[in-house]
Structure 1
Amino acid sequence: MIDSFNNSDLSFVDVFAGCGGLSLGLASAGWTGRFAIEKNPDAFNTLATNLVSGKNNKKSFEWPRWLPQSAISTTNFLAEYSNELMALKGKVTLLSGGPPCQGFSLAGRRTQSDPRNALTDDYIEMVKLLEPRFLLVENVRGFTLPFKKNANAELNNTPYSEQVQERLEKIGYKVYSGLVDLSLYGVPQTRKRFIIIAIKSDDPALLKLDGKTPLEELELYRSEFLANKGLPQKLISVKDAIGDLETAGKTLISCSDSPQKGYQQVDYAIAKFRTPFIELMRNGLESAPNSLRLPRHAASTIRQFGEIMESCPKGRSISKSDRSRLNIKKHALTPLLHSLPSSTVTTLPDDIIHYSEPRILTARENARLQTFPDSFEFTGQYTTGGAGRKLSCPRYTQIGNAVPPLFAEAIGRLLRKLAS
């Protein structure tokens, strides 16, 4: 029974923390954050608002005085605070984080020369300075595949995941890894991620595994975890996740947090549709959460979405022939099927069409699919277009990049057991 022991003072540092999905999950599992590193001010502000400043009288971090509560890159952090980091050697239990995945994503250009791939070097440098007992790395499936573009011949086109694991083993860690289907842990979307869990080679936690890997232990814990959260053992469908936020038959009110006027949102308070997952996400919240803003589509977009929903198979990406028939240039567009989990939530709001309404999902609906509780408040712009897209990190992007907190909590509970 993983949940049958007392909490201990288990600490973590979250690197490439984004808006705080991984941190939130670890904190929910009983861990205490020391600090988080995130270079984008928009994403960091969301993390700080929810997990650092004590919103709703809850704090997930005991932030050190020497580190400003502001955005900073890992490179600048190492340049400015290496001495402070060395002073924490052996005092941090877990170093977690997922280096930015765009350079590895199958949906992107996947070039070995992408500078974002080199950020893993910063992560490993922090491992050397901190020497934590445990490491947790989350990344996309493309992390495990060889590069075919701009490959470095000296590396024999070895998958980046193998390079990282070899480097961690050389500095004294026993490394376990594998692909995990997050939908098996209550996440209502088809989201597979590559997970690395590493344990110091002399740590007593290795004896607790008794020949099994941490990911095998996680799989064995799955049923107990879902029961503990009040969730069914079956996959969570998209309707079971966001059905209370449908607009049909609802009163629409003015959006409470849109910088632009004229937007609407559903009346959160009057929704009658309930499921165990929705109850978990609402968690007794009485006032409406933010990020409920409904899109204002052009009439032509509504017509096209309606035609897609009527003439294309739901629950999978539109085929090449259907894109040609409907004159759709976008390569990734999925009309959802109400009875299945959603397709993978991305950073682009127009990758998914609602299962019963001719519109994209709201930021809050995407957050639900990523298992952020409704009390979690996203800050910054909703979307950003044009040149600003490279500099800002709007809400949809923050949400799509995040580690689902519910899955992070499952891993956090497992690591808590091993660490105790």
Structure 2
Amino acid sequence: MNYVELFAGCGGLSLGLKSTGGKMLLANELSPMASETFSFNLLGEPLTTLAKSKILSKGPILTKWLSSKYELQDMTSRLSENPQEFPPLGKGVCDLRSDGRDLAGSMVVGSVVELNRWLNDVKNKTAMELLRNGFGEGNIDLVSGGPPCQSFSMAGMRQYTNARNVLPWEFAKFVQLIQPKFALLENVTGILRPFVVEGKKVYAWFEVAQAFAQIGMEPGNPSCGYVPICLHVNAKFAGVAQNRPRFIMLSIRKDVYDTLRNELPMRDREILNSSKAFFEKIRKRQPVELKDLPLHDADKNPSIFLGTFLKGLVNGRPTSVREAIDDLRSDEVWESAYVKSINTILSRGLAGEPKANHDFRRHCIDVKRRFRIYQVLSKVRPETATAAFQILKRKKTTLDDAAWGELRAHAFYLKPDGAFTSFGTKAGLEDFLMDHETGKHKQKAMVASMPAPAALSIPDDMCHYYEDQDCLRTLTVREMARIQSFPDKFTFCSKATTGGKSRRFEVPQYTQVGNAVPPLLGRALGLIVQDLLDRYHAAHDPMATAKAVSVVD
């Protein structure tokens, strides 16, 4: 399977696809900071090291800027460049050649909007045709990517008119240009919830599905369009140690779709046929309704997935936080089967140092006390935790007797380097909670026996579960990466975190991890696409003696 990845981030999806035997022909990412991590791990290019050497003056590298203020030799400035200030095409330094030379296998740093414009420019026709032909590999099998999700996310400010919301449509434009056999779009489940626009509900996922079905409908375009299969899945069922629900849209080029409908078993054909009426209405320019396109939900109806080509999205056993990171807190704790697995199947070809990015963040005594409070509140009844949070947020000043009765049995962190201590009076505990007021809305301690919560892009949102003074802290980048299923040899580049105005454009290590597609989920999706490709090729290979069977993990 050869593939192109848009919105590549630090490389989580690409790492998963690579583990299935996938070959990356091109990647695109807006952020130089995330691109540095991608290039280090997946292209073998340590850009910070190259910036300090004279190698950059000797020839091209695989990491190329679409438009930068700085020359290639000034790599240090490029890596800290604000992507919101990239020069327009033709106004900055462009590393791409119009003949497509040296483009194969590259990471292109820049906006996908500008990349589409570059490919559409008649001057770059040769490069575009080379890309469409897979640089000699034949038609591209897959274009994948996860457009930025902040404007769709329920955790942020949902804005239908946000500029980021055009990016799924730019994804569709790229697919129209390249015409791969499959297109894979990944996003937050917030994309499933409607925006209200002029009093009417608008579903972004449904509109994006229409855009893929409409590909090639304009005069002079030979494409036969893409049939979208829409899924609501959870990465924890692919084995990831995180409760991470996602929207997945697997769009299949119509000619490939027709072949698969004839070749797949009955239950698989039922999944494909579920989108047939929607696609046909779009192609006939008939109006469509939400009911015309099913959303297959792995949480509500996993039986639809079991025993089909989608089974890899529900077959995995959820992994607990303890299994993911417990060995990182002590050399006396053995690696779990989960850790051994991701370090085996996902680390091939990686050259990083094991367990890098494991630097503890320093916290003052008040923050550590608050983290201990969160550890305690993770163990009590929800009603008791709510009562305590009412005081932490200064909405109340007293605990009810039931909450006090439960909290009095737990020990808190009162003195530096002292033992955890219980409170002898309700008033003492109430005063302690009042003294540790917080304006945070989402801070909590992880529960060791469960997968981690989904929101992990901000390091202060979550503290460690282990009841020890050394673990009264937020997670390290490595611990967050383990939860997301990154292997230990995957090294995160650039600075660890950011703040202030820089937060608007910088993508430091913690954010890279939190924004990434978990590699194990990427692997599960890659195996699905590879399985369908095998079946498609078997149907078109006159020498094939048997039809392809499902790929075994």
TM-score by length of 2: 0.63
Q: CA separation in 2, counterparts of 1:42 and 1:315?
A: 42
> Within 5 Å, which residues of 2 pair with 1:228-247?
234-246=317-329
Q: Which runs of 5+ in 1 are unaligned?
A: 1-9, 56-60, 227-231, 251-269
> Within 5 Å, which residues of 2 pair with 1:247-396?
250=330, 270-283=331-344, 288-313=354-379, 321-326=387-392, 327-356=437-466, 357-396=471-510
Provide closer, same or farther for how the CA distance between residues 233 and 115 of structure 1 changes in structure 2, counting only shifts above 3 A. closer
Post-superposition CA distance 1:266-299 (Å, at most 9, x none): xxxx454221102123449995431101111111
Q: Which runs of 5+ in 2 are unaligned?
A: 47-61, 65-99, 134-138, 216-224, 273-295, 297-302, 393-436, 535-553
In the other structure, the counterpart of 1:169 is 213
Q: CA separation in 1, counterparts of 2:31 and 2:384?
A: 33
1:71 paired to 2:181: no
- My pick for the range that moved more, 345-354 or 389-398, is 345-354
Larger Rg: 2
Post-superposition CA distance 1:120-172 (Å, at most 9, x none): 12111101101110010000001111114xx356xx43210000111111221
1:110 aligned partner, one-letter code: R
In the other structure, the counterpart of 2:533 is 419
Provide closer, same or farther for how the CA distance between residues 239 and 103 of structure 1 changes in structure 2, counting only shifts above 3 A. same
2:271 equivalent among 197, 207, 213: 213
Q: CA separation in 1, counterparts of 2:352 and 2:38?
A: 22
Shift of 1:376: 0.5
Provide closer, same or farther for how the CA distance between residues 133 and 69 of structure 1 changes in structure 2, counting only shifts above 3 A. closer
- My pick for the range that moved more, 317-326 or 197-206, is 317-326
SS of the residue corresponding to residue 195 of structure 2 reads coil
Q: CA separation in 2, counterparts of 1:415 and 1:366?
A: 28
Q: How many residues align?
A: 376
Provide closer, same or farther for how the CA distance between residues 237 and 207 of structure 1 changes in structure 2, counting only shifts above 3 A. same
1:236 aligned partner, one-letter code: T
Tell me, yes or no, if the aligned pair for 1:334 and 1:343 is still in contact at 8 Å: no
2:101 aligned partner, one-letter code: R
1:196 aligned partner, one-letter code: M
Tell me, yes or no, if the aligned pair for 1:315 and 1:340 is still in contact at 8 Å: no
Provide closer, same or farther for how the CA distance between residues 54 and 36 of structure 1 changes in structure 2, counting only shifts above 3 A. same
Q: CA separation in 2, counterparts of 1:174 and 1:118?
A: 20
1:131 paired to 2:183: no
1:126 aligned partner, one-letter code: F
1:347 aligned partner, one-letter code: S
Tell me, yes or no, if the aligned pair for 2:353 and 2:489 is still in contact at 8 Å: no
Post-superposition CA distance 1:60-112 (Å, at most 9, x none): x9996354645111012122233333443362110100110001000011110
- My pick for the range that moved more, 110-119 or 302-311, is 302-311
> Within 5 Å, which residues of 2 pair with 1:31-46?
31-46=22-37
Post-superposition CA distance 1:44-70 (Å, at most 9, x none): 110011111278xxxxx9996354645
- My pick for the range that moved more, 166-175 or 390-399, is 166-175
Shift of 1:188: 0.6
1:307 aligned partner, one-letter code: I
Post-superposition CA distance 1:162-214 (Å, at most 9, x none): 00111111221111112101111110111100000011111123434431437
SS of the residue corresponding to residue 34 of structure 1 reads strand
2:164 equivalent among 116, 121, 129: 116
In the other structure, the counterpart of 2:278 is none
SS of the residue corresponding to residue 187 of structure 2 reads strand
Shift of 1:316: 8.7
Query: How large is the RMSD of aligned CA atoms in angstroms?
Result: 3.0
Shift of 1:397: 0.2
1:176 aligned partner, one-letter code: I
Q: CA separation in 2, counterparts of 1:385 and 1:143?
A: 27
In the other structure, the counterpart of 1:188 is 241
Provide closer, same or farther for how the CA distance between residues 312 and 394 of structure 1 changes in structure 2, counting only shifts above 3 A. same
Q: CA separation in 1, counterparts of 2:309 and 2:504?
A: 38
1:163 aligned partner, one-letter code: E
2:38 aligned partner, one-letter code: L
